[in-house]
Amino acid sequence: MSPIPSSLRPFFTPAGVAVIGASATPGKLGYGVIANLIKSGYQGPIYPINPRADEILGLPAYPDISSAPDPVELAVIIIPAPAIPDALRACGQRGVRAAAILSGGFAEVGPEGEARQQEILDIARTYDMRLVGPNGVGVLNPHSGLNTTFIEQIPEPGDIAFLSQSGALGGALIDWARGQHIGLSYFASLGNAADVTETDLIQALADDPNTRVITAYIESIHDGPRFMATARQVAARTPIVALKVGGTQEGARAVASHTASIGGSDEAYGAAFKQTGVIRARSVQELFDTAIALAYQQPPAGLRVAILTNAGGPAAVAADALARNGLHAPEPDEDARQALRRALGPAPQLFNPIDMLGAASSPEYETAARILLQSDAYDAVLAILVPNTANDPVGVADALARASADAAKPIYACYMGDVSIREGRQHLHHHRIPVYDFPENAARAMANARRWQVVRESPPAAPPAPDLAPYMPFARAIEEMAAQGRETMGEVELYPLLEQAGFPLPPWHAAYAKAEAEAFARVYPGPFALKVLSPDILHKSDVGGVALNVTAKRVGKMYWQVQARVRRRARKAGLQGVIIQQMAQPGAEVIIGMSRDAVFGPMIMFGGGGVYVEALRDVSFRIAPIGEEDARAMIAETVAGRLLMRGARGRKPGDVDALARLIVQVAALALSAPQLGEFELNPVIVHPAGKGVTVVDARAALFRK
Amino acid sequence: MSPIPSSLRPFFTPAGVAVIGASATPGKLGYGVIANLIKSGYQGPIYPINPRADEILGLPAYPDISSAPDPVELAVIIIPAPAIPDALRACGQRGVRAAAILSGGFAEVGPEGEARQQEILDIARTYDMRLVGPNGVGVLNPHSGLNTTFIEQIPEPGDIAFLSQSGALGGALIDWARGQHIGLSYFASLGNAADVTETDLIQALADDPNTRVITAYIESIHDGPRFMATARQVAARTPIVALKVGGTQEGARAVASHTASIGGSDEAYGAAFKQTGVIRARSVQELFDTAIALAYQQPPAGLRVAILTNAGGPAAVAADALARNGLHAPEPDEDARQALRRALGPAPQLFNPIDMLGAASSPEYETAARILLQSDAYDAVLAILVPNTANDPVGVADALARASADAAKPIYACYMGDVSIREGRQHLHHHRIPVYDFPENAARAMANARRWQVVRESPPAAPPAPDLAPYMPFARAIEEMAAQGRETMGEVELYPLLEQAGFPLPPWHAAYAKAEAEAFARVYPGPFALKVLSPDILHKSDVGGVALNVTAKRVGKMYWQVQARVRRRARKAGLQGVIIQQMAQPGAEVIIGMSRDAVFGPMIMFGGGGVYVEALRDVSFRIAPIGEEDARAMIAETVAGRLLMRGARGRKPGDVDALARLIVQVAALALSAPQLGEFELNPVIVHPAGKGVTVVDARAALFRK
């Protein structure tokens, strides 16, 4: 691997660290940072900067950064926010390459802070400096002994990197890692991420020889498209595991008050992670648990897990949990069964769980684990131990390690309890066997490891660049309307533009008089749909404004009737006539939609159609651009799509090819017209394979600031 | 509360314990049990029974139970299975009241073991003895010092009872409880539960003055209806928290090989728990976490939670997790905000999370917790702490305890990390403040505590006993068919019986000739549905055997056409004509079904109709009997039902009253006819309110052995 990019290297292995705001008073942050740098074993020079001190913790102090001797590559800044711009300028003049700003008082505190954040960013750009923070706890590299945080102790060197938009979560992880003797390769607290973002560090860590897995706590991605491009390149070589918070209204409010982040929608994050191969953790514990699974062992090459246990209950819990996470626990094949029987005697149950009963010995665990790790029937082993007077958790840990050392497959452990298995757990961590408190946690982590193996085998490809030419007339029209300050557009404007862009609409006509509707019905075969034409009515069917299956001879009568019905329910609406439209041939109803996410841009939605199904949220999302393969995956992710693909009772398989092309068209349309805020084709009728799709209705809204 | 029922009292506070199979050899189970009885502080006499020993661990040994002096109320049996019947008979003759059988070799090992299990049960009944086990680890009462297990150390006395069909899970819980200094009131390992079941002990523990919460690990309930009746009585006074495993195919197989349990369906357990007020835990960790929430604190009186924290990230995680679990995190009201501002100064964010920043002191935690616990805006407080060099986890624990001591509302804590907060966590346990490793765990436990408060306020009522008289003709017909060995019945048999039982079917006729169909169409207004009449065809629409919306004049033609279509696709099917049926008025399609669960008996299903919706599993379940209130709750639990209740776009609210009555009818029908194995009304059309419902099609299958 190539090294860390040069502009970020001072955050990993700086030659010389100055601490601006160093303090000689124990208990002060400026004291703690100096103490940590010394204690963590940082080998370069440390320069406390403090105009009122001669020395701090035995190190000579300097009144300002300009008087500190060479080399100074990194400045750690912990002075009050108002003084920081000047200090940063001095750093720039002194030739400092990088600054970690721990102080708060920037974008997270309102407009004044926002201005100050912009100011320090401008200063950094002027002097070609990089910034981590402000409003974070800095960075920590156990391999180089760099620790700019006031987190009390440095974790052991290891191969898990953690990027956090919460310094505290980093503190919690580090405290946990120390207790479990888990090693970290790197920790960065991004704070407000004024300059260096999670994306920069993901890129840098992909090339860090010490890092085997990148974990991240994310409140908000700062540049959605760049994040996606970077993650897509990195995720297949170094796994990225992310916890995204703020998915609920309550969580989003908490995030906004914390690091001034404005998040995109949870669906958009889900789609972006899926499209780039980022593994999504659903809880802090799952983040930590998945990290050790990926750091310690090769991921499973398949879904088949052998459960080796000394306790039936926990094994039953594990079997349930594996199945709920998409993994399997098949019975051993005849070879494995015979080998196990020879090794273990008649007592154990060999169905999977392989239950060796309470007193199972370390040699039994080792032999059985070897057999299962060698068996063609399995891709991974989960070894469960419950402590009792007859067994030896430490001995079993060492036995599993011996079995693992010769194996090409991963093994995971679940040690249940507390006091009796603490030491055994530490041995497992030492041997790099991932160990979990509960079977459910193990199953989730194993499933995530398996997900990464799939990413590794089939790295997410960048979607083909769409040809936007067919959509340019549409895009220009939207741009003009936006320039006029318009927010919506009616069918009479929208439908011709869509036809021009190649969307499959049925024959239609805007009839401002009864005779026009009747004339249309003489040209096209029926039956017809009539929809009231009014700029004032959003949901036509709610006010009786739609008539379906109208025969040619009733078109004239229904022309009036539809408008009369609406008049009774919406007295003030302006009625202009009807849109008459040829009814589509039968097929399944689906919806394709687009909304514009604050972080990731145009997000495409596919789902089943009809009021009922909308309420069930049987939908799938992707960030544009997408290719037909993505569109097919979206279809396959929904129940509606799967029914279409295989054909439901009494109905042939639908034209999935045409549907996938239509989804891709919607994505391209969204990219062509940045002012298009929302767009929905609802319903789209999917005809049998080879017969295409029909867009029955469409709706568009311009982007609102 | 009244004391433990007398027949079970010897499993809690026996006067004298004999250990049959006691051993003088360290490492043997028969040695460990004696050692544990002594070490746990059991105050009554202990009699080792061993024909080849004079004394064991300083206690005089006896050759057999008959030679042991009085009192002997409980026998612990750990000899090989074949010797147990004789030993048990001797216990009975000696006047022993109760036996805990630890040995395996019974129902879990096949037919021979099953016979032996029946034999010991017969012996116990002959002598009026009660049995715990076999194939378990016995019982443990930290309050009386009784410990018949070979689990090494007894936990501290406390108020959490744990009933386990896995001895090992009990061992894990006890090990965990010891590490955390959590007290238990009672532990029973039920093993195969030949005699004493989880239901017996739930009843007993409801009257145990030491027990505040009953937790249970369940592989299979032994008597569904009795469990429901008991749990319904107990759950509102003593919370019952249950983890049920075996919900997946893999889990069910693991369970079957473990304690010979044959589980009912996961849906049936879910329904039974819901109907009786049992709180369902979804993981081992959630079981443990919920136990301390319910044992330590009053449950929240409402949904509003204040998050008090020294760290923004974990608080954002908590806000998300609370919302996902149905709890709220509203902002403080003006009173609380002002009080917090006065107490904490200008720095903290007061939106909720109340973020006091990293260095928050113990007095700040105490003052803020007091304000929030007293505020009318909140029902509970969640205090989060992440360790750093500036704070004091132990001091904060004690501060929270002081605030809690004066409060009428519950407080919960989340201490993140490991080494730096271990001691703080122990203080919290000591002060009976539930403490969790991660915000997500805290949120789940708090939501479960809130669920119990709802159960307490509105205890689940037993459903009214249904009047089965209207269903007796149906039941008798089913009984006759079952006696003839029949497994299915056709519409021509089923529909008249349903009409007789008061089910709302549309007019219909089985037409064996075209003229019959045409005659029907002259009497009733159209349109009509024609369905092929054939004993050989299960899914008529799959083979073109259904024609809908047939007008009167086309009935004759369609009579032949429907049969011709079927003939093309199903050459060998016997065709007898068609069923002609008046088409129902429009409305929403739903399904009502019944299946017979192995554990709980008739289970009623309600859900949305149509192929698509069936695939989405928008369904709700209850165990019969049910009342109209239950039926209404089922409707409200589904998206289809909620759309019916409020009326979806362009459609009026449906006749939910009539629908609820129909669901209750199905439940009563199922109870009346025990040989009815499966029953489905699909679809049922729900007309607008006041217009009733129509059963369009029905299907019944007799019970298969």
Gap between the Cα atoms of B38 and B348, Å rounded: 55
Q: Indicate if the pLDDT at residue A617 is higher than 90.
A: no
Q: Indicate if the pLDDT at residue A154 is higher than 70.
A: yes
Contact A306, A260 (CB under 8 A): no
Q: Indicate if the pLDDT at residue B456 is higher than 90.
A: yes
Contact A133, A194 (CB under 8 A): yes
A382 touches chain B (CB under 8 A): no
Q: Which residues of B touch A169 (CB under 8 A)?
A: 311, 313-314, 317, 386, 416
Q: Which residues of B touch A352 (CB under 8 A)?
A: 254
A421 touches chain B (CB under 8 A): yes
Report phi then psi at B516, rounded to 5. -65, -45
Gap between the Cα atoms of A36 and B270, Å rounded: 53
Beta carbons of A250 and B319 less than 8 Å apart: yes
Residues 596-625, chain A: which have Cβ within 8 Å of B? Answer: 608, 611-613, 615-616, 618
What are the strands, taking DSSP E only, across A609-675? Answer: 619-623
Residue A233, pLDDT score: 94
Residue B259, pLDDT score: 54
A424 touches chain B (CB under 8 A): no
Q: Indicate if the pLDDT at residue A1 is higher than 50.
A: no
Looking at the complex, report in whole angstroms how far the Cα of residue B649 sits from the nearest Cα belonging to chain A.
6
Structure confidence by residue, pLDDT tens digits, A394-446: 999 999 999 999 899 999 999 999 889 999 999 999 999 999 999 999 999 99
Structure confidence by residue, pLDDT tens digits, B210-224: 999 999 999 889 899
Residue B1, pLDDT score: 40
Q: Which of B614, B662, B610 is nearest to B635 (CA)?
A: B662
Q: CB contacts < 8 Å between A and B, how many? A: 325
Residue A264, pLDDT score: 66
Gap between the Cα atoms of A271 and A606, Å rounded: 12
B178 touches chain A (CB under 8 A): yes
Residue B108, pLDDT score: 85
Closest CB to A639 among B178, B419, B615: B615
Which H helix or E strand runs over B184? strand B184-189
Query: Roughly what angle, to the nearest 10 degrees, separates helices B491-500 and B472-483?
Result: 150
Q: Which of A506, A515, A509 is nearest to A530 (CA)?
A: A509
Tally the residues of chain A. 705
Contact B43, B145 (CB under 8 A): yes
Q: Indicate if the pLDDT at residue B65 is higher than 60.
A: yes
Q: Indicate if the pLDDT at residue A610 is higher than 80.
A: no
The DSSP code for B590 is E
pLDDT averaged over chain A?
92
Q: Is the dihedral of CA A378, A382, A388, A391 positive or negative?
A: positive
Gap between the Cα atoms of A20 and B564, Å rounded: 91
**Token code pair at residue A80:** 């009050």
Which residue is closest to A422 within chain B, CA to CA? B179
Give the amino acid at B630.
Answer: D
Q: Indicate if the pLDDT at residue B557 is higher than 70.
A: yes
Contact A356, A308 (CB under 8 A): yes
Q: Which of A494, A515, A536 is nearest to A676 (CA)?
A: A494
Which domains occur in chain B, in start order?
A: 9-293 (3.40.50.261), 298-457 (3.40.50.261), 507-582 (3.30.1490.20), 588-702 (3.30.470.20)
Percent of chain A residues past pLDDT 70, beyond the cut = 97
Which H helix or E strand runs over A444? helix A439-457
A329 touches chain B (CB under 8 A): yes
Contact A192, A134 (CB under 8 A): yes
β-strands B146-147, B157-164 pairing: unpaired
Report phi then psi at A188, rounded to 5. -130, 130
Name the band, by pLDDT with cuts 50, 70 and 90, for residue B2. Answer: very low
> Where do we find the tokens 């039994």?
A364
Looking at the complex, report in whole angstroms how far the Cα of residue B674 sits from the nearest Cα belonging to chain A.
31
Q: Which residues of B touch A319 (CB under 8 A)?
A: 245, 248, 250-251, 253-254
The whole-number average pLDDT for the span A166-173 is 86
B539 touches chain A (CB under 8 A): yes
Interface probe with B: pick from A181, A317, A589, most Cβ of B within 10 Å: A317
Contact B605, B594 (CB under 8 A): yes
Residue B610, pLDDT score: 76
B311 touches chain A (CB under 8 A): yes
Residues 252-271, chain A: which have Cβ within 8 Å of B? Answer: 253-255, 257-259
The whole-number average pLDDT for the span A184-193 is 94
Gap between the Cα atoms of B680 and B590, Å rounded: 11
β-strands A74-77, A601-608 pairing: unpaired
**Token code pair at residue A461:** 């490809």
Q: Which residues of B touch A416 (CB under 8 A)?
A: 168-169, 172, 175-176, 284
How buried is residue A167: exposed, middle or buried, by Cβ count under 10 Å (0-12/13-18/19+)? buried
Q: How far is CA B658 from CA A3, A123, B471, B618, in A?
A: 72, 73, 18, 20
Gap between the Cα atoms of A205 and A198, Å rounded: 10
β-strands A138-141, A601-608 pairing: unpaired
Structure confidence by residue, pLDDT tens digits, B636-670: 999 889 989 988 766 789 999 999 999 999 999 99
Contact A314, A305 (CB under 8 A): no
Structure confidence by residue, pLDDT tens digits, B596-621: 998 999 999 999 887 776 777 889 99
Structure confidence by residue, pLDDT tens digits, B279-337: 999 999 999 999 999 999 999 999 999 999 999 899 999 999 999 999 999 999 999 99
Closest CB to B440 among A152, A285, A312: A285
Q: Which residues of B touch A388 (CB under 8 A)?
A: 150-152, 168, 171
Contact B356, B344 (CB under 8 A): yes
Identify the residue with better confidence: A108 or A147: A147
Gap between the Cα atoms of B498 and B492, Å rounded: 11
A549 touches chain B (CB under 8 A): no
CB atoms within 10 A of CB B86: 12
Q: How far is CA B71 from CA A429, B74, B202, B248, in A?
A: 51, 9, 27, 47
Percent of chain B residues past pLDDT 70, beyond the cut = 97
Residue A703, pLDDT score: 76
Which residue is closest to A285 within chain B, CA to CA? B438
Structure confidence by residue, pLDDT tens digits, A522-580: 999 989 999 999 888 877 888 889 999 999 999 999 999 999 999 988 888 888 999 99
Residue A690, pLDDT score: 95
Beta carbons of A167 and B358 less than 8 Å apart: yes
Residue B194, pLDDT score: 95
> Where do we find the tokens 């238990």?
B184
Residue A196, pLDDT score: 96
Q: Kindly write down the DSSP assignment for every residue of A348-371, as one continuous string.
A: SEESSSEE--TT--HHHHHHHHHH
Residue A584, pLDDT score: 93
Measured between alpha carbons, how far apart are the two ends of chain B, in Å?
Answer: 44
Name the band, by pLDDT with cuts 50, 70 and 90, for residue A256. Answer: low
Which H helix or E strand runs over A577? strand A577-582
Contact A441, A467 (CB under 8 A): no
Residue B3, pLDDT score: 61
Beta carbons of A178 and B419 less than 8 Å apart: yes
**Token code pair at residue A509:** 């006509």
B248 touches chain A (CB under 8 A): yes
Residue A263, pLDDT score: 53
The DSSP code for A73 is -
Which residue is closest to A259 within chain B, CA to CA? B312
Gap between the Cα atoms of A60 and B212, Å rounded: 62
- Report ipTM (2 d.p.): 0.89
Q: Which residues of A touch B254 (CB under 8 A)?
A: 307, 312, 315-316, 318-320, 329, 351-353
Contact A218, A244 (CB under 8 A): yes
> Where do we find the tokens 């009818």?
B665
Looking at the complex, report in whole angstroms how far the Cα of residue A29 sits from the nearest Cα belonging to chain B.
8
